Structure 1
Amino acid sequence: MGRKLRIEVLRYNPLDPASTPHMQTYHLEEHPSMTLFVALMQIRETQDPTLQFDFCCRAGICGSCGMVINGRPGLACCTQTRDLPDHIVLHPLPVFKLVGDLSVDTGSWFRNVGTRIESWIHNNKTFDENAQEDRMENELAVQIFELDRCIECGCCIAACGTARMREDFMGATTINRMARFCLDPRDNRDVQDFYELIGNDQGVFGCMGLLGCEDVCPKKLPLQDQLGIMRRMLALHSVKNIIPRSILNKMEKKCGCQDKHK
């Protein structure tokens, strides 16, 4: 016999005027290798079909099942119940618009910031469907792929102190996205272009450095490393006309993007 799990879920339907936020408790027996996603599905199939939560891939790829699990943002499909106490408390991710219960609208948020930072390759080449793909060194391709693994689950945003206080903050995942374009040789934007997009309090200079984003990232992305690289690059760019070039050159050696964007 497995443990008896007590799962408390925040219930609220913002579209129902009669609905009020409240915690509802469910009980079920734990099975070997049970994930939190499986537990929620079992609750919905056998106890309460009205329970709302999002899912798609069930393999930690789509990022749909992000929620706050015992106070910590995470993915339900990647969370084993055996790693949790028998009393589990679930809340929807903060910052994002609540759809109902544990379901939030991360898509609109990411679409908005993607538009703000112009999240696409910028160049003047005319598209030729018959042309070969642009080639790059394997090492560089691996670096870009590392930053491109973000599944936009929203966990890093939910764990961000600045994002919790300010609706205009773009968050670590957005800055990570910009670092990916900074590395990409196919993107013709220079440092000034990046500075105009994220060189402000809503971007790289708004982070308080609490490391919550990287701590909860299910893909273990180097979010703080990329924040540091981009912030250093843009900070140096902002004082390039003040600091002597000889000193600036020495400082730029520590910046990850200076070779491409001088």
Structure 2
Amino acid sequence: MKTIPILPLQASLPAHALAPAPAAAQPTAVTRRLQIRVLRFNPAHPEVAPHWQSYEIDDAAGMTLFIALSEIREKLDPSLQFDFVCRAGICGSCALLVNGRPALACRTLTQNLDATFTLAPLPVFELIGDLSVNTGKWMRGMSERLQTWVHQQEAERDLRRLEERMEPELAEKIYELDRCIECGCCVAACGTARMREDFVGAVGMNKLARFRLDPRDTRDDDDFYEVVGDDDGVFGCMSLLGCHDVCPKQLPLQTQIAFLRRKMVAMGWR
């Protein structure tokens, strides 16, 4: 019987055949260049008129407007003013106009925008400079006018009294309205707020609706009518629903305004 010799593996193929094939050339990704036009104005220097200033930076995966503005301030223009705190859509500080529409800078991805877009400060609120506005001052004034806290009528405080149990369904409804971060987007999108300086806006009516639901608040509809039953309150709303469209927390503003208006109409017809 004829024996067939078995060759070693390395001798069975030429050396070049065992070498890994060269990797195929990958096409080079083209980095998109962003042109960001920012409305600049500093009230501390009124001699310089409001004007548009353009900045160019490279787009990047996952880049938000907050990251873009930070890069501009760090590398191009340290004088640029804008607001931020949490960078997670929780504090509401970074709200601005993106192509004329209110939005949060930290939650807006540049990849969802055209290569050229505009940024401007929120209207209605006091301008600090460039994209920075004083929403806190407006919100504080609104809260004081509407008395947005739990009112309890007690002859004497009982510090040992236990809080009454609240049904989970009601607690969830109250919590849903409490998610407001006071970013000011709803106010900036409101046509009435542009025309009426004292209009409480959707944010104010949402807060009152929240306390109207709270069984711990002893105020009745007469009390609520006194603070919101006029043209600066529920009857000033033109139902354009710009507030509902731009709320970053997707709060049921349309529902709450309608709820509060029905209650106030009933009080007005008495």
Question: Taking structure 2 as the reference length, what is the TM-score of the superposition?
Answer: 0.86
Q: Which residue of 2 aligns with 1:151?
A: 181
Question: Following the alignment from structure 1 to structure 2, what is the Cα–Cα distance between the partners of residues 103 and 209?
Answer: 28
Measure, in 2, the Cα distance between the counterparts of 1:216 and 1:174: 16
**In the alignment, which of 52, 61, 64 is matched to residue 23 of structure 1?**
52
Other-structure match for 1:109:
138
The answer to whether the 8 A contact 1:68-1:74 is kept is yes
Query: Following the alignment from structure 1 to structure 2, what is the Cα–Cα distance between the partners of residues 46 and 113?
Result: 38
Instruction: Compute the displacement of 1:53 (Å).
Output: 0.2
Partner of 2:42: 13
Structure 2 match to 1:34:
63
Consecutive unaligned residues in structure 1, runs of 5 or more: 241-262
Specify the alignment match of 1:2 in structure 2.
31
1:99 aligns to what SS in structure 2? strand
**Deviation digits for residues 158-208 of structure 1 (CA, Å, limit 9, x no counterpart):** 000000111011101100000000000000000100011101000000000
Inter-partner Cα distance in structure 2 for 1:165 and 1:81: 32
Q: Aligned AA for 1:220?
A: Q
Aligned residues: 240
1:86 corresponding residue in structure 2:
115
In 2: Cα distance, 1:133 partner to 1:31 partner: 51
Alignment check: 8 A CA contact 1:2 1:32 kept: no
1:45-194 aligned at under 5 Å gives the runs 45-125=74-154, 126-127=156-157, 131-194=161-224
Query: C-alpha displacement at 1:18, in angstroms?
Result: 2.9
- Larger displacement relative to structure 2 (169-178 or 121-130): 121-130
Give, in whole Å, the separation in 2 of the partners of 1:39 and 1:72.
18
1:239 matched residue in structure 2: 269
**Highest CA radius of gyration, 1 or 2?**
2
Aligned amino acid, residue 214 of structure 1: H
Q: What is the aligned-residue identity percentage?
A: 58
Partner of 1:208: 238
SS of the residue 2:38 aligns to? strand
| 2:248 matches 1:227 | no
Secondary structure, aligned partner of 2:117: strand
Distance in 1, matches of 2:190 and 2:134, equals 17
Between the aligned partners of 1:141 and 1:184, the Cα distance in structure 2 is 8
Q: Determine helix, strand or coil for the equivalent of 1:200.
A: coil
The runs of 5 or more residues in structure 2 that have no matched partner are 1-29
Report the CA distance between 1:88 and its aligned residue.
Answer: 1.3
Partner amino acid for 1:49? Answer: P
**Residues 127 and 19 of structure 1: is their aligned pair in 2 closer, same or farther, counting only changes over 3 Å?**
farther
Give the deviation of 1:132 after TM superposition: 3.6
* Cα distance, 1:127 vs structure 2: 4.8
Q: TM-score, normalised by structure 1?
A: 0.89
CA contact (8 A) 1:59 1:77 kept: yes
